[in-house]
Amino acid sequence: MNAKPYVVGITGSSGSGKTFFLNSFLNHFQQHEVSLLSQDDYYIPVGDLTPEENKLYNFDVPSTIDHELFTTHIDALLTGQTVYKQEYTFNNPNIRPKILEIKPAPILVIEGLFILHFKAIADVINLKLFIDADEHVALKRRLKRDNDERGYSEDDVMYKWHNHVVPAYQQYLLPYKNSCHQIIANNQHAAEELIAIAGNISAELRKLILCK
């Protein structure tokens, strides 16, 4: 790689639809055109937790993230190096973590809750996208995801929502919302609008970065 990658940052509240938007966006590129670094893979390991300990542990604060390693890996990708990282499995004992190989590409996507809070990371982002959803919509999505994918009870989800998720959003995400280049509202149950927005952004980036 001769040119420094163009960095896209994707953030937004829990349940806003970041993952769906991200996947829709990535579908427009070939593997060698884009690399992805997810904040979720940089949680500091906490070991085995009982269900009650897991309920009370607050994962929604920046101190749970190994931001120094996160930043180091971003810098490595920006200078054309490949990085290796064990995936994070959200303490699910039924999942055997894989070793992720992230190769440099013309477009680097960074996604996560705190990517704008970590100044060293925010400063390298060329395009900041904020996926937004009304609180009741986001909560409904979070309930479904955490029950279906992570096996959390509704009581656990509601406890984390009111005590961890909402305070974190207000303190660590909301202050950066209006500094983003684009705020993408996602309150609809139909996916077509979000897919269309992802397509439009990817098309602009293709013209800007890949068709030089």
Give dist(CA 201, CA 75) in Å, integer. Answer: 24
Task: Answer yes or no: is 187 within a domain.
Answer: yes
pLDDT-based confidence at residue 33 (cuts at 50, 70, 90): very high
The verdict on residue 211 lying in a domain is no
Specify the pLDDT at position 77.
97
pLDDT at position 103 is: 96
Structurally, the chain folds into a number of domains equal to: 1
β partners of residue 128: 9
Higher-pLDDT residue of 140, 190? 140
The residue written with tokens 């996926």 in the block is 131
Q: Where are the beta strands (DSSP E) in 67-156?
A: 83-86, 99-102, 107-111, 127-132
Considering the domain boundaries, does residue 66 fall inside one? yes
The pLDDT value given to residue 30: 93
Give the model's confidence band at 92: pLDDT under 50 very low, under 70 low, under 90 confident, else very high: low
CA-closest candidate to residue 183, choices 201, 171, 203: 201
Q: Within a domain: residue 209? A: no
Does position 149 have pLDDT exceeding 80, yes or no? no
Tell me which residue range forms the domain holding 27. 6-203
pLDDT of residue 96: 79
Does residue 208 belong to any structural domain of this protein? no
- pLDDT tens digits along 156-198: 889 999 999 999 999 999 999 999 999 999 997 768 899 999 9
Residue 70: alpha-carbon gap to chain centroid: 12
Mean pLDDT value of segment 196-208? 94
Mean pLDDT score, 128-133: 96
138 touches 14 (CB < 8 A): yes
